[in-house]
A and B are shown apart, each in its own frame.
Chain A
Amino acid sequence: MSSKTTFIGAVEIGTSKVTALVGEYTGREIVIIGCGECSSRGVIKGSVVDYRSATECTHNALEIAERDANERVDHVYLAQTGGHLEGFYNEASVNVKAADNMIEMDDIRTVCDLAKSKDLPLGRMVVHNIRRPFRVDGRLVPTLPEHLVGQRLEVGYWTVHGQEQRLADNIHVIRGFNLEVRELVLSSLASGHMVTSLEERQNGVLAIDIGAGTTDYVLYRNGAPHTTGVVAVGGAHFTNDISIGLRLTEGQAEKLKLRFGRAVVQSRDKNEKVWLDGNFAIGDRQFSRQAIESIASARAWELLEVVRKKLGHAFAPEDCAGGVVLTGGGAKLPALAECAAKVFGTTSRLGEAPSWVAENLRDPGFHTALGILYYGVSSLGDHTSASRRKGGFLRNMTRLFAST
């Protein structure tokens, strides 16, 4: 085996389940060699509320994945979600310094640093700085504008920041397994990267990842993420509404949601009844199908409306030729794409993993974990080369022992 081969773990600590994947990264490509899954405990709306329980199930998932891969993970990319994450846009511009108006790397560095530097409230930390395309004298430049000629260079950053303690809690859960967190990846970016194509991102597309506790979304424009966000509402809230509305336990409501829930009401007959279990057991009850569909569809509509409202002017159907792509476990609710099409006034579809993904990982619930690996690795290139320049032998030795 090549000495360059590293084994990367991708962990998503979700509200309903913890997913861990192990990828073998050769420096050129990544191959998924292990998968572990465990029911989540101690996590509410993407945030760790019970350290011991969350640690236990996360480590369990990691152990299963390592056993499946038959390899030790070297470091981890961790998905980040939760209602505490917020984003803002900040832009900056500089006058090109050179007398001949040719843009140098120094100009680019300066304008990027300016656009990224903004005071955050106390206790907040940057998770991602997502750069939007450069502009030279108002002209859009999708790549680095080095050696182009212009007088004014502008750039903007979408900065995602979160609460320090909540970020630290997630990191410490992984560190409890004596693994280094190499990268925090926003869940929406990970799943969005997985279910949208390059062309769709270029033309504009909105990816919505509906999890159990949170809904993450990312709007792409001109091939880059334009706006991201998190709504602290997910599939578990659908279950909760059904449970309250029909006076059921969470487990019973979940069962009904999975079997009869729909994002658009289909049943026209108020008297159409469905059995809770359908096994003729004592205590089995009947419920109105229309009632279940009405509750689920109202919640789905409301959730998508909230996303649209949070996007505000950033989303316009005419600028979003790729439409809306839904993913995540919650997206499996029947007719959700139809509901999204009505809410956003554009085409909508259920996201699918690329064809090369193995059959057992094609479920929408794995899209985030898969995306973490691929998004993380693709963003690693620059980071690694920068580290190599700064690092050297001692740094590598430190890493060797730190990651063991």
Chain B
Amino acid sequence: MSKDVHAMPETRTWREIPQEVSSRAMSGEGRRRLAMGSMRAVMFVAVIGIVAWGAWETAVVLRENPDSLPGAAKADRVRSLVLVTDGVLDKNWLAATLSIPADATLVGLDLSQLRAKVLADSQVSSAAIIRNFPDKLTVRISERSPVVRMMAQAAGGTPSMLLVSRDGVAFSGTGFDASMVATLPWIDGVRLTRDGTSFAPIEGMRAVSDLIASAKLEAEELYRTWRVISLERFATDGEIDVRTKSGMKVIFDTREDYLRQIARLDLLVDESTDPTHPLREVNLALGSQVPVAYGTALPVLGEPPVNTLGAGAPQPAVTFPRAPGIHIDIKSEL
């Protein structure tokens, strides 16, 4: 039953029925919906019209009389720098960091570039720069707090001290009180690697920070004796070694509760009253079994450990050769 395609009759479908109805034939709700729709249409057209009119006016002014545009903001120089911070950095640091030319105008400043300059100092964790017209530039920053300090030495260079924050970022530590810095323990057994102009974050600092926080809370007297914290065995064994001023070595397990480990250490230190056989090593990383080594009087730690910069194996700063005559006790169920 083949047919000629050109002779096909037009069939009418229901889609040809006009759907428009007069508002008389609508219910109250229908009329309300229609009114809302019309209002939206009018508002849409009005918004488009206003935007188009604004663009047209601006174009006309730019073409005919560009000088009539408000230019006060463009002409004003930066007269005031305001620093809002939660740390220790001051206005001098800001001025030196930004180094804005004296004749720079507020509008002419490249804020993203200035922000990059501020963030180039690793001590700053976040920064926002705001123009306050007519002539004020406000810089809001958030600073990192130091948890430990470290001595870093590049190949062939002189050692320099850096501070390390909880997130593992090492920074030079501008503006901190020297007496406060002197109370911070040294970090050891880490390797600093360059990441652009700063250093890559040190792994394990969160665990160290938690340990220090627990020690400060539970036994502040003990914490004050901590001299060096080593992360040498953090990656392999999940352990943190702490050396005290008296040369005692304490091994903490990062997977165990710090408060419990510190409580055990506190008890052991209290029990060890013989000055001729002081505690030499306490291993808290074996659960309820706590091996304790006693020895003769130990040398007090002097120079801080020095960590190398760049590639290379971590170098422990202080070694404790096991002296003959050391005996080991196992204290269990502490």
Partners in one complex: yes
Residues of A within 8 A of B (CB): 51, 55-56, 59, 63, 91-95, 110, 113-114, 116-120, 124-127, 159, 162, 164, 167-168, 171-172, 175-181, 184, 401-404
**Does chain A have a CB within 8 A of B30?**
yes
Instruction: Chain B residues near A59: list those with CB within 8 A.
Output: 27, 29-30
Segment touching A, from B6-14, B97-105, B263-271: B6-14
- The answer on a CB contact under 8 Å between B37 and A113 is no
Closest to A51 in B: B25
**Does chain A have a CB within 8 A of B326?**
no
**Does chain A have a CB within 8 A of B323?**
no
Closest to A124 in B: B12
Shortest distance between the CB of B260 and any CB in chain A (Å)? 50
Interface string of B8-31 (1 = CB under 8 A from A): 111111101101110001110111
Instruction: Chain B residues near A177: list those with CB within 8 A.
Output: 26-27, 29-30, 33
**Does chain A have a CB within 8 A of B2?**
yes
| C-alpha spacing A329/B261, complex, angstroms | 74
Instruction: Chain A residues near B21: list those with CB within 8 A.
Output: 172, 175-176
| C-alpha spacing A125/B3, complex, angstroms | 22
- The answer on a CB contact under 8 Å between A125 and B25 is no
22 chain-A/chain-B pairs, Cβ below 8 angstroms: A59-B29, A59-B30, A92-B1, A92-B3, A93-B1, A110-B5, A113-B5, A114-B5, A116-B11, A117-B8, A118-B9, A119-B9, A124-B12, A127-B14, A167-B14, A171-B17, A175-B19, A178-B30, A178-B31, A178-B34, A401-B37, A404-B37
| C-alpha spacing A93/B40, complex, angstroms | 51
- The answer on a CB contact under 8 Å between A125 and B17 is yes
Q: How many residues of B contact A (CB 8 A)?
A: 30
Other A-B pairs beyond A113-B8, A167-B14, 10, CB < 8 Å:
A110-B5, A114-B5, A119-B11, A126-B14, A127-B14, A162-B14, A171-B14, A176-B26, A178-B26, A402-B37
**Does chain A have a CB within 8 A of B84?**
no
| C-alpha spacing A56/B12, complex, angstroms | 30
Instruction: Chain A residues near B1: list those with CB within 8 A.
Output: 91-93
Quick one: given A59-B30, A92-B3, A178-B26, are A120 and B19 in contact (CB under 8 Å)?
no
- The answer on a CB contact under 8 Å between A176 and B30 is yes
* Other-chain residue from B2, B20, B40 in contact with A404 (beta carbon distance below 8 A): B40
**Does chain A have a CB within 8 A of B41?**
yes
Quick one: given A119-B9, A176-B25, are A171 and B37 in contact (CB under 8 Å)?
no
Shortest distance between the CB of A40 and any CB in chain B (Å)? 16
Closest to A154 in B: B1
Instruction: Chain A residues near B17: list those with CB within 8 A.
Output: 125, 164, 167-168, 171
| C-alpha spacing A106/B1, complex, angstroms | 18
**Does chain A have a CB within 8 A of B36?**
yes
Query: Which of chain B's residues 25-58 have a Cβ closer than 8 Å to chain A?
Result: 25-27, 29-31, 33-34, 36-38, 40-41, 44
Instruction: Chain B residues near A179: list those with CB within 8 A.
Output: 33
Closest to B24 in A: A176
* Other-chain residue from B5, B13, B27, B41 in contact with A125 (beta carbon distance below 8 A): B13
Closest to A164 in B: B17
Counting chain B CB atoms within 10 Å of each CB, the highest count among A162, A172, A180 belongs to: A172
- The answer on a CB contact under 8 Å between A126 and B33 is no
Shortest distance between the CB of B183 and any CB in chain A (Å)? 55
* Other-chain residue from B9, B12, B14, B33 in contact with A178 (beta carbon distance below 8 A): B33
* Other-chain residue from A110, A120, A178 in contact with B11 (beta carbon distance below 8 A): A120
| C-alpha spacing A92/B1, complex, angstroms | 6
Instruction: Chain A residues near B31: list those with CB within 8 A.
Output: 178
| C-alpha spacing A113/B169, complex, angstroms | 73
- The answer on a CB contact under 8 Å between A175 and B20 is yes
Instruction: Chain A residues near B38: list those with CB within 8 A.
Output: 401
Closest to A113 in B: B8
- The answer on a CB contact under 8 Å between A63 and B29 is yes
| C-alpha spacing A116/B12, complex, angstroms | 11
- The answer on a CB contact under 8 Å between B36 and A404 is yes
- The answer on a CB contact under 8 Å between A114 and B19 is no
Instruction: Chain B residues near A119: list those with CB within 8 A.
Output: 9, 11
Instruction: Chain A residues near B13: list those with CB within 8 A.
Output: 125-127
- The answer on a CB contact under 8 Å between B37 and A178 is yes
- The answer on a CB contact under 8 Å between B30 and A125 is no
* Other-chain residue from B3, B25, B29, B44 in contact with A114 (beta carbon distance below 8 A): B3
* Other-chain residue from B11, B19, B29 in contact with A171 (beta carbon distance below 8 A): B19
- The answer on a CB contact under 8 Å between B5 and A55 is no
Instruction: Chain B residues near A401: list those with CB within 8 A.
Output: 37-38, 40-41, 44
Instruction: Chain A residues near B5: list those with CB within 8 A.
Output: 110, 113-114
Shortest distance between the CB of A322 and any CB in chain B (Å)? 30
Counting chain A CB atoms within 10 Å of each CB, the highest count among B20, B30, B38 belongs to: B30
Counting chain A CB atoms within 10 Å of each CB, the highest count among B19, B27, B40, B44 belongs to: B27
- The answer on a CB contact under 8 Å between B19 and A181 is yes
Closest to A58 in B: B27
- The answer on a CB contact under 8 Å between A56 and B3 is no
Counting chain A CB atoms within 10 Å of each CB, the highest count among B21, B40, B44 belongs to: B21
Shortest distance between the CB of A363 and any CB in chain B (Å)? 27
Instruction: Chain B residues near A180: list those with CB within 8 A.
Output: 19
Shortest distance between the CB of A184 and any CB in chain B (Å)? 5
| C-alpha spacing A150/B21, complex, angstroms | 50
Shortest distance between the CB of B255 and any CB in chain A (Å)? 44
Shortest distance between the CB of A114 and any CB in chain B (Å)? 5
Quick one: given A178-B30, A178-B34, are A184 and B20 in contact (CB under 8 Å)?
no
Shortest distance between the CB of A335 and any CB in chain B (Å)? 38
Instruction: Chain A residues near B19: list those with CB within 8 A.
Output: 171-172, 175, 180-181
- The answer on a CB contact under 8 Å between B41 and A172 is no
Quick one: given A56-B27, A176-B27, are A125 and B12 in contact (CB under 8 Å)?
yes
Interface string of B72-98 (1 = CB under 8 A from A): 000000000000000000000000000
- The answer on a CB contact under 8 Å between A126 and B25 is no
Instruction: Chain A residues near B36: list those with CB within 8 A.
Output: 404
Closest to A127 in B: B14
Shortest distance between the CB of B13 and any CB in chain A (Å)? 4
Instruction: Chain B residues near A110: list those with CB within 8 A.
Output: 5
Instruction: Chain A residues near B16: list those with CB within 8 A.
Output: 125
| C-alpha spacing A281/B11, complex, angstroms | 61
Closest to B34 in A: A178
Instruction: Chain B residues near A93: list those with CB within 8 A.
Output: 1-2
Instruction: Chain B residues near A118: list those with CB within 8 A.
Output: 9, 11
